[in-house]
Amino acid sequence: MKRRLSFMSITCFMTLAVMGSTTACSDDGQVAVCEPACAPFGPWLPGVGECEAGSCTPTFMECFENTEFSTCQAQCEAVGSTCSENACADGTYMIISNLEDCTDPEQIGPVVSRSCDEAIEWQVNTAARCCCEQNP
């Protein structure tokens, strides 16, 4: 399904996809399209996982527990990606109290700025999401 929206001199086309939506914006005939669709993290963290200049920005990947990975570098590699240091809302990972809360799309936790190979500081939390590149 395509919708044509006009705002000032920019024309945007919305394409709905299975994983999310992409926005192709045209200004002076230049069109930037992200294929496959990017996986934006959500309205609470604008810019995370969105389509910018034809590429998907890094996003917080799937939830995992503290027994699975100790660094974001290891978690991102396990899902076939690359860790993006401090690239998701100025953080490398999001810490969340437990796996059930982490998988709830309405729940977010504090975003922590660290290097990708630095150990995740779990404290009393047991779940996290790492900031990884979105690969096509």
Q: What is the pTM of this model?
A: 0.75
> How far is Cα 76 from Cα 82, in angstroms, rounded to an integer?
5
pLDDT over 90 (residue 23): no
Q: What is the pLDDT of residue 106?
A: 86
pLDDT band at 29 (very low <50, low <70, confident <90, very high): very low
* pLDDT per position as a tens digit, 48-106: 999 988 899 999 999 999 999 999 999 999 999 999 999 999 999 999 999 999 999 88
Q: Find the largest Cα–Cα distance for the chain.
A: 52
Of the CA atoms within 13 Å of residue 31, those in its CB half-sphere come to 11
The C-alpha angle with vertex 32 and arms to 52 and 81, in degrees rounded to 5, equals 50
Residues 6+ away with beta carbon under 8 Å from 106: none
**Would you list the domain boundaries of the chain?**
2-56, 59-132
Taking the CB of residue 44, how many other CB atoms lie within 10 A of it? 11
Which two tokens mark 71? 């660094």
